[in-house]
Structure 1
Amino acid sequence: MIYLDYQATTPLAPEARDAMLKWLDGPDGAGFGNPHSPHRMGRQAAAAIEAARDKVAALFPPGGQVIFTGGATEALNLAIRGSAGDGAVAFSAIEHSAVADTAKAAGAHEVLSVGEDGLCDPAQNLPQDARMIAVMQVNNEIGVIQSVSDWHRRAKEAGVLFLVDAVQAYGKMPVAQADLIAVSAHKFHGPKGIGALWVRDGVALTEQQTGGGQEAGLRSGTLSPALIAGFGAAAALAQERMEADAAHTEQLWTRARDLFAGWELNGSESARWHGNLNIRRDGLDVARLMSDVRGVMFSAGSACASGSGKPSKVLKAIGLTDAQAKSSIRLGFGRYTTLDDLEAAAKAINAAVKEQDAWI
């Protein structure tokens, strides 16, 4: 099998796996202690968590704290629901549903428009009662990189909080300046089931998950030393390899653009993370394509929505018709993708498309 779905999840780094194993050991290894217990095993587990927290924090801006969560969805819920104020949450039209649906459920909200390139203009009007702006740094479906520095400046001028979904950016590029930033470990070669909310110093949140008051009183529940150790190892590795990973991804992107030269690109080509290739061929039956090319793992949209049968809301937001959105695929690649993988996948996909064309 060839894996080209890096936006959905990434392969676990061996270094992250190794870091986790110690904290999964049974009685003989004594690595299974509760990090909130006062005895020796508990203190050891707690120390491992704090060491990992420092590694995770190193990829965020200075002047904030890392709150561990079960993933980015929980982190975004904590940021939106836990921030004070009765005003509206303004979010871009291509935000992940973890932002859009949570903002709608939390109360007043307004959708910020995007252009055909997928970019959200910071000069557009904001609701007068805005309390928060939410703009993701890198879109999970089409890979466009938003002008988050301009949005951060706009939020400061308006006196409102700025929330960034940095799930697709963290570990791949410098993370945006913001008041609140959500990330997920499994998007950059860490384990699933662990994420974090970075909270700028001075930003007050209220706990949304009550219980034992762990994580600075903001997120109750027993922490997993194994998951957090894997998170920390993945973050340290990403920091060490960021330039090399980016160069490798750029090489893959350049080759992919040649291999899929007859396809239309969705979203901006210049303001884009080059590990995301979202392309379309009008009239393509993507469901049939995925069935015909079962040995290649790719997406018909975001993994969260690709099984719904509905056109991608992101592709619709940038002006594509239902038919164009449904004829689009997303290829994601990165650290562990080889040129041979990419070329073999392209050969299989293009051959299947050619066979479809022959029937039209």
Structure 2
Amino acid sequence: MSAYLDHAATTPLRASARAAWVEQSQRGGNPSSLHTSGRAARAVVEESREEIAGALGARPSEVVFTSGGTEADNLAIKGTYAARLASVGARRLVVGGTEHHAVLDPVEHLVQSQGADVTWLEPDRCGHISVDDLKSALVATLAPAVGATDALDVAIISVMWANNEVGTVQPVADLAAVAREAGVPFHTDAVQAVGQLPVDFAASGADLMTVSAHKVGGPVGVGALLARRDARLVPLAHGGGQERQVRSGTLDAAGIRAFAVALTEAVAERDVEAKRLTALRDHLIGRALALDLGISVSGCWTAGEATDRLPGNAHLLVPGCEGDSLLYLLDAAGVECSTGSACQAGVPQPSHVLLAMGYPEAEARGALRLSLGHTSTDADVDAFIAALPRVVERARRASGAA
């Protein structure tokens, strides 16, 4: 049996979520239908919406269900851009340089197709975005729209809560406060943070927040965009407007129910689980460094701490190796992990996250992401450490470094 160390890509479905999905899927019913089955499905959706909102410090009306984190990020970025462009003529996006491609690619689409401008917030060596840098990025360039003479030209600010590759946790509340003072909508992708860190939508000050079910032990294909009631969004698709008239499509009652069950369970056990994962992460990192293979840790890491880094994230740099070679060799040895974002797997180029953090390309190429989750055990770490020396030796030979 493989040692699974790629929970940041997806974490196994929780037994409670599986049972909830099976039970609801057997009932059927379209939540938009007015007959008995439809009303019953609608009740399940709304009860689940309330549970999700409660777990994330939001109002039920602020939960907009989507097909997952990617759609939610697209709706936040494109939908807000279109609304702000129409209302105040804002064409600039202020975006963290280490964002997931579910944010970066919509931004690039707006640049290419609609003439948007981007101001990139470059991180420090740990991956943190500076509050002062955000303030500098919001120097008031006035928007040209009539009636908006004092409006910034910024349509939206987007900085992820916790990075999917190196696990860096951002000062979201401080960044959101700067955005609110400037009158600019603030979005945060909290897909990796939920279930590992305390996440409170209201307390964060964010206007928009992305979450996804399969990162907390729910099913793939369900997520949500949390949007404050005064958030203005232009829909990306039309055909029913089931979710606040900004997202259309028949709601997946079974998936939503399983999402709510998984999220509730993950949040309930978060504090205890975070301590367990922090200890397991530190054990993994400590043993990897002790192998004397020249391995280093990217991002911020202090043993026992989970404020600057996700509890379950260990990101290692292995000199003289290609990340893809390490991944395939570890996989052959029964250890499943990643070189970074799973959405970019197989692309032979260094991580944009590490490059943005100032790592040289040659160093960034030897990256390994080990991410722990609710099924992770000491045995998984043991398997990785046992396989690593031989894998590194072979990878270095393949690259000509040994």
The answer to whether TM tops 0.5 is yes
The reply to whether residue 258 of structure 1 matches residue 286 of structure 2 is yes
> Shift of residue 292 of structure 1?
2.4
Match for residue 245 of structure 1 among 256, 273, 276: 273
> Shift of residue 250 of structure 1?
1.2
RMSD across aligned positions (CA): 1.6
Q: Is the 8 A contact 2:66 2:222 kept in 1?
A: yes
In 2, Cα distance between equivalents of 1:299 and 1:290: 6
The reply to whether residue 326 of structure 1 matches residue 365 of structure 2 is yes
In 1, Cα distance between equivalents of 2:210 and 2:198: 14
Alignment match, 2:218: 190
1:28-57 deviations in Å (ceiling 9; x for gaps): xxx111111111111111111111111111
Alignment match, 2:148: none
Match for residue 276 of structure 1 among 313, 335, 360: 313
In 2, Cα distance between equivalents of 1:342 and 1:163: 35
The structure with the greater share of residues assigned to helix is 2
In 1, Cα distance between equivalents of 2:102 and 2:330: 30
Amino acid at match of 1:96: H
In 2, Cα distance between equivalents of 1:285 and 1:202: 47
Q: Is the 8 A contact 2:196 2:270 kept in 1?
A: yes
Alignment match, 2:10: 9
Matched residue SS, 1:77:
helix
In 1, Cα distance between equivalents of 2:329 and 2:84: 51
* Change in 2 beyond 3 A, CA 1:201/1:281: same
In 1, Cα distance between equivalents of 2:32 and 2:172: 37
Q: Is the 8 A contact 1:259 1:343 kept in 2?
A: no
Alignment match, 1:178: 206
Alignment match, 1:85: 84
Q: Is the 8 A contact 2:196 2:311 kept in 1?
A: no
Alignment match, 2:323: 286
> Shift of residue 356 of structure 1?
4.8
* Change in 2 beyond 3 A, CA 1:357/1:104: closer
In 2, Cα distance between equivalents of 1:357 and 1:70: 41
Q: Is the 8 A contact 2:197 2:310 kept in 1?
A: no
Matched-pair identity in %:
37
The reply to whether residue 154 of structure 1 matches residue 178 of structure 2 is yes
Deviating more after overlay: 261-270 vs 292-301 = 261-270
In 1, Cα distance between equivalents of 2:327 and 2:130: 35
Alignment match, 1:352: 391
> Shift of residue 161 of structure 1?
0.6
The reply to whether residue 134 of structure 1 matches residue 158 of structure 2 is yes
In 1, Cα distance between equivalents of 2:311 and 2:263: 20
> Shift of residue 355 of structure 1?
4.8
In 2, Cα distance between equivalents of 1:346 and 1:16: 32
> Shift of residue 357 of structure 1?
5.5
1:159-199 deviations in Å (ceiling 9; x for gaps): 10110000001122222330000111111111000110001
In 1, Cα distance between equivalents of 2:349 and 2:396: 23
Alignment match, 2:147: none
Q: Is the 8 A contact 1:59 1:170 kept in 2?
A: no
Deviating more after overlay: 345-354 vs 211-220 = 345-354
Alignment match, 2:131: 122
Alignment match, 1:303: 342
Amino acid at match of 1:36: S
Structure 2: runs of 5+ lacking an equivalent: 111-115, 142-152, 303-307
In 2, Cα distance between equivalents of 1:324 and 1:142: 14
In 2, Cα distance between equivalents of 1:78 and 1:40: 32
* Change in 2 beyond 3 A, CA 1:357/1:95: closer
Structure 1: runs of 5+ lacking an equivalent: 26-30
Match for residue 73 of structure 1 among 70, 85, 93: 70
Matched residue SS, 1:181:
strand
> How high is the TM-score relative to the length of structure 2?
0.85
In 2, Cα distance between equivalents of 1:160 and 1:73: 22
Q: Is the 8 A contact 1:55 1:236 kept in 2?
A: yes
The reply to whether residue 94 of structure 1 matches residue 122 of structure 2 is no
Matched residue SS, 2:328:
helix
Alignment match, 1:28: none
1:90-141 deviations in Å (ceiling 9; x for gaps): 0010011111221232322221111111111110111432121100010001
Q: Is the 8 A contact 2:275 2:311 kept in 1?
A: no
1:189-225 deviations in Å (ceiling 9; x for gaps): 1100011000112222222210012012111110111
Alignment match, 1:222: 250
In 2, Cα distance between equivalents of 1:190 and 1:91: 28
Q: Is the 8 A contact 1:61 1:177 kept in 2?
A: no
> Shift of residue 309 of structure 1?
0.8
> Shift of residue 156 of structure 1?
1.2
Q: Is the 8 A contact 1:79 1:197 kept in 2?
A: yes
In 1, Cα distance between equivalents of 2:98 and 2:42: 38
Alignment match, 1:104: 108
Matched residue SS, 2:368:
strand
In 2, Cα distance between equivalents of 1:51 and 1:33: 15
Aligned length: 355
